[in-house]
Amino acid sequence: MSNALVIGASSGIAQALLSQLADLPDVTQVHAVSRTSQSLSNPSISAFSFNTLDEDAVKAFITQQRQQGITYRYVVSTVGVLHREGNEHQVALKPEKRLEDIDPKQLQAYFEVNTILPAIWLKHLVHVMVKGSPSVIAFLSARVGSISDNQIGGWYGYRASKAALNMMIKNAAIEYGRRNKQVSLMAYHPGTVDTGLSKPFQANVKPGKLFTPEYTAQCLIQLLVGAEAQHSPYYIGWDGKTIPW
């Protein structure tokens, strides 16, 4: 019996993941981490609220888990940003259509959420993954983060930050392989999911290709359960097909 961890647990995909992970026969407890407090009715799911981008907060959480002897079989981070409204605390983000749209502050914001946050978690999770049996850490990436598959350009900040995330995962997989040989790392492309992240772009989605959070969560669960460390790291889509790095 083991535990699962979902980072960014307030998102649409994460909410679907929580209940599906809790239903797995080998999972006793699911820990849901998010920046905002959550009200959960399932006794198998425990909520934790702190800034998931604050390394001190992440380190304190992981240290607490280690002291309690808690380790994780499944870890999924659903944190990511494509667009957002600006305010006094954060810069507005909108995918760039041409070179003239590139803005240094927007690039910094993309990398902060899409690359640096996962890197912080990769750094500390190595201490709390199950040893002696398979475990997996998955981050929501995107097909547009593939360098070799990029045929149309645009979306500079989002593409580059997801490509950098993929490199973080691929690089960390080498060290994880030395320190805990049964951990698999995964970059997961969920497809276009009916959440706030894809709302402005759903008009261009082909019929049948706009997925529910529950469906893409189900696809991810199947990949998590079937992951094998000998094939780590994975860069894989919802359909189980490998994506070129």
Cα separation of 191 and 9, whole Å? 19
- 198 in a domain, yes or no? yes
Angle between helix 12-22 and helix 213-226 axes, rounded to 10 deg: 50
Q: What is the pLDDT of residue 210?
A: 72
Specify the CATH number for the domain of residue 161: 3.40.50.720
Which portions of the chain are predicted below pLDDT 70?
195-209
State the Cα–Cα distance between residues 241 and 233, nearest whole angstrom.
14
Q: Is residue 155 part of a domain?
A: yes
Q: Is residue 137 part of a domain?
A: yes
- 242 is a domain residue: no
**243 belongs to a structural domain:** no
At 50 the pLDDT is 96
- Say if 18 falls within a structural domain: yes
Q: Give the domain extent around 75.
A: 2-237
Total number of domains constituting the chain: 1
Both structure tokens of 202? 């759903």
| Residue 244 counted as domain residue | no
Cα–Cα distance, 124 to 133 (Å, whole number): 19
